[in-house]
Amino acid sequence: MIIQCAADFHGSVEKYKKFFNAVKKEEPDVIILPGDLGSIDENLYEIDCPAFAVHGNMDGLLFLNKIKIVDEKLFDFKGYKILGLGWNFKDFIDENGKKISIKEADFDIIISHAPPYKTKDKAFLGMHIGSKKLRRIVEEKNPDFVLCGHVHEDHGYTLINETIIVNCSIGKKGSYTIVDTENKKVRMIGY
């Protein structure tokens, strides 16, 4: 599966335009937006593939039609179990209308606004600001990927054991990330 992802648009129409123009070129199977979307007028952009998002720390309530909000949800997509975790996630998630513990859940991909602690989470003063709770989940459950954002200064990818952590924050200049789940490859692309 090919994923095109980016986080931290903060409502920038220019950055959204560049991202959705790139969608036409890349033709991903799915779009994933790990939070801090800000205001977005979905009608301005052609969205021809499924799109999923979680809330970031700067997002109010998001009411979207073309982009599905998946905070605290576990769902199947193209043979992958995907866990959506918003900014302030809880220990229980919704799987097909049933509440289950994250510890009981099986998943391949996590969408989270914050990165796991000490992985692509260094803020401008060099402090690690990632989620310790998410780090524990990744170490215990070993998903294939974590797609996150939040830390604009430290976008890129790294590993926790075998899990590929992708901070797909668009940063100041703007960028997006392509994730090939079958081949476990990541490409960071600047505009």
CATH number of the domain that residue 102 is part of: 3.60.21.10
Give CA–CA dist 173/129, Å, rounded: 22
| 191 residues of the chain, pLDDT tens digit each | 999 999 999 989 899 999 999 999 999 999 999 999 988 877 777 788 999 999 988 777 666 778 999 999 999 999 999 999 988 888 888 888 889 899 899 999 999 999 999 999 888 888 998 999 999 999 999 999 999 999 888 889 999 999 999 999 998 778 899 999 999 999 999 85
Count CB atoms within 10 A of the CB of residue 41.
9
What's the pTM?
Answer: 0.94
Q: How many structural domains is the chain composed of? A: 1
Q: What is the domain extent for residue 131?
A: 2-190
The separation between CA 110 and the C-alpha centre of its own chain, rounded to angstroms, equals 7
